[in-house]
A and B are shown apart, each in its own frame.
Chain A
Amino acid sequence: MRANTWAGRNKVEVRDVPDPKILNRRDAIVRITSTAICGSDLHLVDGYVPTMQDGDVMGHEFMGEVIEVGSGVDPTRLRVGDRVVVPFPIACGACAACAAELYSCCENSNPNAGIAEKMFGHPTAGIFGYSHLTGGFAGGQAQYARVPFADVGPLKIESDLTDEQVLFLSDILPTGYMGAEMCDIQPSDVVAVWGAGPVGQFAMDSARVLGAAKVIAIDKEPYRLQMAERAGHIPVNFDEVDVRSRLLELTGGRGPDKCIDAVGLEATHGSAHIAAYDRIKQAVRSETDRPHALRQAIMSCRSGGVVSVIGVYGGLLDKFPAGAWMNRSLTLRTGQCHVQRYMKPLLQRIERGELDPTRIITHTMPLDDAERGFDIFKNKRENCEKVVLKP
């Protein structure tokens, strides 16, 4: 089959690889009809996530048709012919983490748990196409994928919604939603979202759906801010204005009640020398993550507020404003999304028309053009917000 693979730092390559096969009894094989490029794929390509290997099949946002199931898959849960969206964290459904609906912390789905434990203290779940640290599972930017624990994760789509309407249930819609949900939003809340990429856009929409009074989008790409503005959110361009002053102005001097970091470890900064400082520390590995967005969110949030982190961090960071966090009674909440927890309720919100995930799609192209897709997404060319690939 054809598959988009990691080919070294800053390089992806669509290659011919063997078709996937059943390796465990509860596996299914899915023929992929739509897949997408995620912002976190860029962290892999940019070389910030260790344990990638040449030839690793990438991609963790995909959906399609079940064409084969292993002997251990409960037929009342999944059958050949089912149309499914596959959540990015692989979860067994049986361990204590899964029982607590902390699917991205599944205790059984990562065969390389010993390695992950060294890095994170305790291991985390397996993830499709996301380094050997998260298990070494082939990803979904391909014609076919093997899906372990197929009777736990995949969500059956039984209505006639299009792929584009449901594809993002695999990751970014639940991730954005969880970012907003962790904010415990009240009707009087002003919510500020750092990053107007795909996850940021969905965090903004979710904050609105959960009842926020006002939602603010912080980014520097005019086309991304315009996209947020069209959806009813207030744009703040950090290249043009001082974020802190603008946020104080928009909140009557209080600061946003809830702040969402939808940026993560590769943040850019309006001030060139601060950006360079962290970029250099990162390059010489004296910190692995560049936390500008997180620092600014903590400093901006009103006292007693919540800072919710859904942008990806991988290792260590420097100049964490612990003083502001502690002295101003801030609550910091975070997590890789527990996608399985949110798929059904969010599918219902899509069916009811409360959320329209298709609004962020700017490019649809054949899988074979993945390299170009990564290029325009990474370098923000052609006003690229979200690329959907068709195998």
Chain B
Amino acid sequence: MSLGLGVAQLAAPDTVRRISGVDDSATSRAVVPLVGARELVHAAGLLTSRRKGAWAWTRVAGDAMDLAALGMAMAHRGGSRRRRLLAVTGAVAGITVLDLLTAVQATRTKDIGSAQARGTRKGGSMELTATTTIRKPATEVYAFWRDLENLPTFMAHLEQVRTTGERTSHWTADAPFGKDVGWDAEIVDEVPGDRIAWRSIGNADVPNTGTVRFVPAPDGVSTEVHVALTYDIPGGTIGKAVAKYFGEEPHQQLDDDLRRLKQVLETGEVVRSDGAPWGKQARKEFPQRPAQPLSDAELAKGAQA
């Protein structure tokens, strides 16, 4: 609607002024196109930004401005102009209510996770949970996960996990998680075919713990995988990089990780398409390259990345 209003106010300001009953004022000649330009800014923000909540609030602010301007105009007019002004003011008031509701809702939805997984951030600690069902026996899913070096094949933020002892390992994060972030971890609890729990040890930049439970599904064939991760996100550059990496919907990263785990265990590898050719990074690539085959150059470049 911002788009339509903005274009109308810029392209046909006189018509807009007549409908609004302010066609007698010189001030309105300047104000109407300005308001039009402002509407286009709302439209651009709402259509392109990922932070729709904030942009919806800019519309509420704009509505308040408009109502004030209309009130001022009304105080000085009578007759049919006043009637037209009243009608427009009524419409703007209605729109304001809608915008207010939208803005409140858009700001709130950010806090609501999907039914499948939730991420909550309390203070510096972020807790993520997710679950999936894999059509393989629990022993097999457990064995794959227990070989921690397999984790980077499906967990987007991991570059490498190297086993350093019976229960210890060294983990390296991928670039988007923060450059050159590495830490040691130890398994603190494991029951074959049932669960694994681990935690970072030593001087980790982002202290973290994780638990995965393997539960036989009611179908007698599949295994439910329940994962819970906790990150103690520090201040400073690394904290910022981690927060940026997880973005507004941190649980989605883990959802996608588990989808890939399922692909690897059920079909043998992470599924690729022309639009999302690099497996682990599918979501990061959105909007994607077109769904048309890759050139040799693109293929070579992607293989290095």
Contact = CB atoms under 8 A, between A and B. Distances in A.
Contacts of B286: 112, 115, 132
Interface SS of A by simple majority: loop
Contacts of A1: 293
Given A26-B268, A111-B273, A113-B259, A20 B291 contact: no
B274 A95 contact: no
Interface residues on B, range: 35 or more
B275 interface: yes
B139 interface: no
Nearest to B275: A136
B166 interface: no
Given A26-B268, A109-B271, A132 B295 contact: no
Contacts of A129: 291
B238 interface: no
Contacts of B288: 53, 112, 132, 136
Nearest to A23: B272
Interface of A: 1, 3, 5, 17-21, 23-26, 53-57, 72, 92, 94-96, 99, 107-115, 117, 126, 129, 132, 135-139, 146, 148-149
A72 to B, nearest CB: 6
A5 to B, nearest CB: 7
A99 B133 CA distance: 14
B269 interface: yes
Contacts of B269: 24-25, 72
A72 B267 CA distance: 10
Interface string B261-305: 011001111111111110100110011111111111001000000
A136 B296 CA distance: 19
A126 B295 CA distance: 22
B291 A139 contact: yes
B81 interface: no
Contacts of A54: 290
B302 to A, nearest CB: 10
Contacts of B287: 53, 132
Contacts of A138: 273-274, 291-293
B255 interface: yes
B284 to A, nearest CB: 11
Given A53-B287, A53-B290, A57-B292, A132 B133 contact: no
A149 B275 contact: no
B256 interface: yes
Given A108-B262, A136-B288, A53 B295 contact: no
A109 B263 CA distance: 8
